[in-house]
Amino acid sequence: MKLDDPRFYINRELSWLEFNQRVLDQAKDRSNPLLERLKFLCIVSSNLDEFFEVRVAGLKQQKQTQMSETGPDGMSAKEQLEAISARVRRMVDEQYRIWREELQPELEKNGIRFHHYPDVPEEQRVYFENFFHRQVYPVLTPLAVDPAHPFPQLLNKSLNVIVELEGENITTDIAVVQVPRILPRVVAFSGKSTDSDYVFLGHIIQEHVGTLFHGVKVKRAHLFRITRNSNLYVDEEEADNLLHAIEEQLRRLNRGAAVRLEVDHICPEETIQRLLEVFNLEPDDVYLINGPLNLVRLMPLALQIDRPDLRFKRFTPVTVVSLDTEADIFFHIRKGDILLHHPYDSFQTVLDFIGQAAEDPQVLAIKQTLYRTSSDSPIVQSLIEAAQNGKQVTVVIELKARFDEAANIKWARMMREAGVDVVYGLSGLKTHAKAILVVRSEGEEIRRYAHLGTGNYNPSTARIYTDLGLLTCRENVTRDLAEVFNLLTGVSLYPGMRELLVAPYDLHEKMLELIEREAANARAGLPSGIMAKMNALLEESTIQALYRASMAGVPIRLLVRGTCALRVGIPGISENIEVRSIVGRFLEHSRIYRFENAGDPIYYLSSADWMPRNLFRRVELAFPIVSPGMKQHVQEILDWQWRDNVKARRMGSDGLYYPLPVAPNEELFDSQAEFIADSNRRRKKPSATTE
């Protein structure tokens, strides 16, 4: 049977929007603390911003150039844009209904109030008027729009006010005021010590914008926001200096082509039409907002308001390796591989690994990949310290890590100045692998130590993303990793590996081979099964291999947090496949691939999702878990996640996701909550162990 029928595939963009809907569902979920619900509401907006900047922008370019690339679902760029517009409109309407009817009233009941400016008490109106004249007015610039003043080039995602004017002898009837990003978007009442009362900065400016136009009457003033294309276009083969080329592109991003217009829902149609003409947009690109434009600006409040009663209860991760004066981390790794499950196991162990390597006089060299890290990265500081201590330090940093380009350029310059060898990987490929290699002199031998992970070297996101990491000094793995770094920094052909799988060379081929082996085992009557956890499943040949395995009778369980193009429930094709997604307190980010292998299961952890970009356009790693104890641990992670009937949603044949039915006497099981409880139990034990 041919498996390329478009009906067998779910559109990537529409599947992603269903993932964002699952995030929005967490904002609706009353079992979540109130400020956490607000945070999820903000994340929905942040996700949509990136979706329009990248995905919608790309589709618009395809439509304009008439070079549409249809995916396996067969939808053209035009069809996708129409479907996206309709789906996002429903999502945004629901998002703001939740804000107006649920979150804002409940916040008010808890003493956190967001005031409509006309309803602000008189004494506070005086305060805000003074605030406007002292702190806001000096940084505002009215920009007329007439033959002598072209429409201003507004920055990407900036908040703006379009002002309609009337008066004698005026050259134009509209002007624009851009709200400076340096100012806080939410302004607190003065003199409040307990309860929290706020007004949105945009509303303050709307109220007082007339002071910018002397002798001219302001008829109306409406807030609007523009989202622009934020894709980077760098020809690496033509760029003499990749760092400088990316810097130049970053300077242009704020002025890319407009892809979305958000306006106040009461903005007159004629005003909207003028904005559409200016930005060369169509009616489908307009989103009417009944509430505060850009809910992302509420995120700092959601994180900073001092109300522990309205947040998830804090927990302290387990320190898996207890370091003392008797033993360093290398001693513990020599005892056996160490598996880390973040955020339940502390990321400090990884920081200790790189920190001790920087200080240890026996360490000769450190090699590391960096895709994303934190703004105050202790890892970068350790690498700099290592170089200053005379060690050979090499860092493969990815300058094209989306939305982290500027930060990575800063780190690259800082490390190079400190004597670190900084390289940018292989031309045409992003380096997305997560790896550290430490070379250490131990008596008469040289021993290598490695950390391999599924997530970024970012201590901040390690507290809110679930990821897995392996610390090891096994010779096969560390020798393989040394070859990977030689490939990334030198001039080599891919030499093949003993245990590691490397994209774009053999990772995809090996995954297909393992899937096909399960199908063969099922046909032979041997134990078979596939269980995989990832962020996205989009690669067509992988999906077709899963379909063939399902047709052979292989039971397939997939935990796909985000986008999934595979369609379940197709008669005779995907009846043995079940897809679930978990969206909860932490962002599920780890990638685990398990194959039954006729009763001797094989486990791989990886930095790669089953997506074309990961398998063919990035350098990625997959690494095996070999010790029985660690296999058991990884299996427990998969089993607990599959058991989840609180945060998990199951895909239907329509591509939508539904809560799992719970029997009257069935126990509720929230896998992330159970991992926290397990972390708390392990933390109370005298010491943690390695495998």
Catalytically annotated residues? 432
Q: Hey, what are 332's tokens?
A: 């513990």
| Nearest partner of 591 among 566, 636, 564, 623, judged by Cα | 623
- Phi, psi dihedral angles at 343 (to 5 degrees): -90, 5
DSSP 318: B
Place of tokens 């109300």: 307
Amino acid at site 613? R
Q: Hey, what are 580's tokens?
A: 């679930």
Q: Does residue 62 sit in helix, strand or coil?
A: helix
Q: For helices 540-551 and 507-523, what crossing angle results, to 10°?
A: 10
CA distance 253 to 107: 36
Give the CB-side neighbour count of residue 510, counting CA atoms within 13 A: 24
Handedness of CA 488, 492, 493, 497 (dihedral sign): negative
| Nearest partner of 399 among 389, 387, 411, 383, judged by Cα | 411
The number of angstroms, rounded, from the C-alpha of 393 to the middle of its chain's C-alpha atoms is: 29
| Nearest partner of 643 among 627, 660, 658, judged by Cα | 660
Asked, as a colleague might, if the bond just before 504 is cis with ω within 30 of 0, I would say yes
- Is residue 366 within 8 Å of 436, Cβ to Cβ? yes
In our burial notation (b when 16+ CB lie closer than 10 A, e otherwise), range 174-200 reads: bbbbbbeeeeebebebeeeeeebbbbb
DSSP 599: G
Q: Which residues pair with 471 in a beta bridge?
A: 338, 451
Place of tokens 């622009």: 228
Q: Does residue 459 sit in helix, strand or coil?
A: coil
314, 350, 478, 561 from 452: Cα distances, Å: 28, 10, 10, 22
Handedness of CA 401, 403, 406, 410 (dihedral sign): negative
